[in-house]
Amino acid sequence: MADLLHIDHLSAGYGEAVVLQGVNFSLPEGETLALLGRNGTGKTTLMNTLAGATRQHGGSIRLAGVELHRLPAHERAAAGIGWVPQERNIFKSLTVHENLTAVARPARAGSSNRPWTPERVYELFPRLAERKTNLGTQLSGGEQQMLAVGRALVLNPRLLLLDEPLEGLAPIIVEELLRAIARITRDEGLSAIIVEQHPQAILRISHRAVVLDHGNVVHNGEAAVLAMQPELLDGLLGVVRSSGATHVA
């Protein structure tokens, strides 16, 4: 299977501060990657770099053959990036429907997948259909996250970036979002990179897993294999288990 994303010796950060150092990995078309690591290891910086929101110091990023690292942030959506940052970045003064229609893009020429439209987003998230005339300020945190995912989908991206999409949400909403993410990735074949602090939740719906530590890749392999090696996973994430308790070292 051909690679959709290829990252080669990527170094990036904020201003003169370098956070990522020589990052290398690839993601095949139609696969999902779980991006894991302790807090402060560079996960969000990597997502921001793919979206064009950091300073790149070296290396290259290629998406479907396009040299993404040469494009400014505002051109990366057209190149195929759909980004859901931690802050969600919905337009809170617009209705749900206006949020979706304001950013919608037509499907890519030659794409065999069914295009993402506001109507398809409502099929994926019936809660949003019920609240399509509500303003962003009138939505719960879970509904805002669904809307943020929907806004990324109507860009009809090649690669979906999800930065901690489950953070701070109620368990019932977490399960609803996980089912939706699994549907658009596993079932429909949209490539995605997902950052998440609860690795087992994401590993089960991902094909590959990359673990960062101090801005470097320290593990790159199959998600299912890592999920079946909890001691290795704990070691990579700095998790210490004792007397039934779990904490990060």
Q: How confident is the prediction along the chain (249 residues), in pLDDT tens digits per residue?
A: 689 999 999 999 999 999 999 999 999 999 999 999 999 999 999 999 999 999 999 999 999 999 999 999 989 999 999 999 999 999 999 999 999 999 999 987 766 678 999 999 999 999 999 999 999 999 999 999 999 999 999 999 999 999 999 999 999 999 999 999 999 998 889 999 999 988 999 999 999 999 999 999 999 999 999 999 999 999 999 864 444 444 444
Residue 61 near residue 50 (C-beta atoms within 8 A): yes
Q: Which residues pair with 195 in a beta bridge?
A: 35, 163
* Residue in 73, 29, 35 with CA at minimum distance from that of residue 191: 29
pLDDT of amino acid 245: 43
CATH class held by domain 29-52+73-248? alpha beta
**Phi, psi for residue 22 in degrees, rounded to 5:** 65, 45
In whole angstroms, what is the distance from residue 64 CA to residue 208 CA?
A: 18
* Residue in 123, 88, 114 with CA at minimum distance from that of residue 190: 114
* Residue in 33, 87, 43 with CA at minimum distance from that of residue 202: 33
pTM of this structure: 0.92
**Around Cβ 196, how many Cβ atoms within 10 Å?**
21
Q: Concatenated DSSP letters for 71-123?
A: S-HHHHHHHTEEEE-TT----TTSBHHHHHHHH--PPPTT--SPPP-HHHHHH
In whole angstroms, what is the distance from residue 36 CA to residue 41 CA?
A: 9
